[in-house]
């Protein structure tokens, strides 16, 4: 009960801060929207079909939804660094709540904000000519959430060990772009060279992006863009399962690391 209250309070503050800061909302959805219109509507027509009757715009749309969620939740860890720098973290650390629940609250806060941003991008589907039924959209949400939790916890984990905001930004950018490029947001992974293909398989984001795409495009056509692991094409449930395992490990590491900081 005590822990739930702690998680809720930490989460609540992050949402309150997000609501306070409208510029952040606009800023966070600007880049994905730009990609959506430039790559989707703009270059999309030049690319033609990618096979399985899916055009480039349709292909990239779930990828960019996933990217929005991934970027937002991962970068949200900076609030921990921010709080340390401006002193508020002390107020949190001396409070009579479990530190593991602080890490959990932070992760959930990051995930919630990322979900709001990802859902806003979803609303742009009709504008770029992607047909999205309510059922499909609803089915994408849990996978987006799983990805958001995983990356949110990863961000919190890094934030417990990185002391300055500048360093946090450098480190997250260095990880963020390789993760995005090697997760199949922009290009199908199945024709990637072997070395690249191996990197995509150890990239947690791959399983998030692929599973969201499998839901958005339907699993049969989705398998064309899927991941091969141990000579087997991974199903939606396989991908979601791997993502869930990585997510659980990230949360545990974030909690452990948060508890062991002075």
Partner 1 sequence: MSDYIIEVNNLVKKFGDLVAVDHINFQVAQGELFGFLGPNGAGKTTTINILCTLAKPTSGKATVNGFDVVRQQNQVRQSIGLVFQDPSLDERLSGLQNLRFHAMVYNVPASVREKRIEEVLKIMELWDKRSNDVRTYSGGMKRRLELARGLLHYPKVLFLDEPTIGLDPQTRNRLWEYILELKRREGTTIFLTTHYMDEADKAERIAVMDYGKIVAMDTPDRLKRKVGKDVITVKTDDNTKAAEEIGARYQIEARRDNDELVFAVEHGEKFLPKFIREFGTKILSVSLRHPSLDDVFLKLTGREIREEEVSDTFKAMVRQHGRHMRR
What residue ranges bind partner 1 (CB under 8 A)?
Answer: 2, 5-6, 8-9, 12-13, 16-17, 20-21, 83, 86-98, 262
Question: Least distance from C-beta 234 to partner 1, angstroms?
Answer: 42
Question: Least distance from C-beta 91 to partner 1, angstroms?
Answer: 5
Q: Which is nearer to partner 1, 83 or 234 (CB)?
A: 83
Question: Least distance from C-beta 87 to partner 1, angstroms?
Answer: 4
Q: What are the C-alpha distances in Å from 86 to residues 13, 36, 89, 90, 177?
A: 16, 36, 8, 9, 28
Q: Which is nearer to partner 1, 43 or 86 (CB)?
A: 86
Question: Least distance from C-beta 32 to partner 1, angstroms?
Answer: 24
Nearest to 106 by CA among 199, 18, 221, 219: 18
Q: Which is nearer to partner 1, 20 or 195 (CB)?
A: 20
Q: Which is nearer to partner 1, 232 or 260 (CB)?
A: 260
Question: Least distance from C-beta 14 to partner 1, angstroms?
Answer: 10
Cα separation, 23 vs 12, whole angstroms: 19
Q: Which is nearer to partner 1, 17 or 201 (CB)?
A: 17
């Amino acid at each position: 009960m005590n822990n739930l209250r702690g998680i809720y309070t930490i989460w609540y503050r992050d949402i309150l801060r997000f609501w306070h800061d409208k510029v952040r909302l606009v800023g966070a959805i600007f880049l994905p929207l730009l990609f959506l219109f430039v790559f989707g509507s703009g270059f999309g027509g030049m690319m033609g079909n990618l096979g399985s009757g899916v055009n480039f715009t349709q292909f990239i749309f779930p990828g960019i939804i996933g990217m929005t969620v991934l970027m937002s939740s991962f970068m949200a860890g900076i609030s921990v660094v921010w709080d340390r720098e401006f002193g508020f973290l002390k107020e949190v650390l001396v409070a009579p709540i479990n530190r593991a629940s602080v890490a959990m609250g932070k992760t959930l806060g990051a995930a919630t904000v990322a979900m709001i941003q990802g859902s806003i991008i979803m609303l742009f589907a009709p504008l770029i000519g992607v047909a999205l039924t309510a059922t499909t959209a609803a089915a994408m949400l849990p996978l987006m959430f799983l990805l958001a939790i995983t990356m949110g916890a990863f961000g919190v984990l890094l934030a417990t060990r990185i002391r300055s905001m500048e360093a946090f930004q450098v480190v997250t950018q260095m990880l963020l772009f390789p993760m995005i490029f090697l997760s199949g947001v922009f290009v199908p992974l199945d024709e990637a060279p072997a070395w690249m293909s191996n990197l995509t398989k150890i990239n947690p984001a791959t399983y998030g992006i692929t599973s969201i795409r499998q839901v958005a495009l339907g699993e049969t056509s989705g398998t064309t863009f899927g991941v091969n692991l141990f000579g087997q094409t991974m199903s939606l449930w396989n991908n979601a399962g791997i993502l869930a395992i990585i997510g659980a490990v990230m949360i545990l590491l974030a909690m452990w690391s948060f508890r062991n900081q002075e």
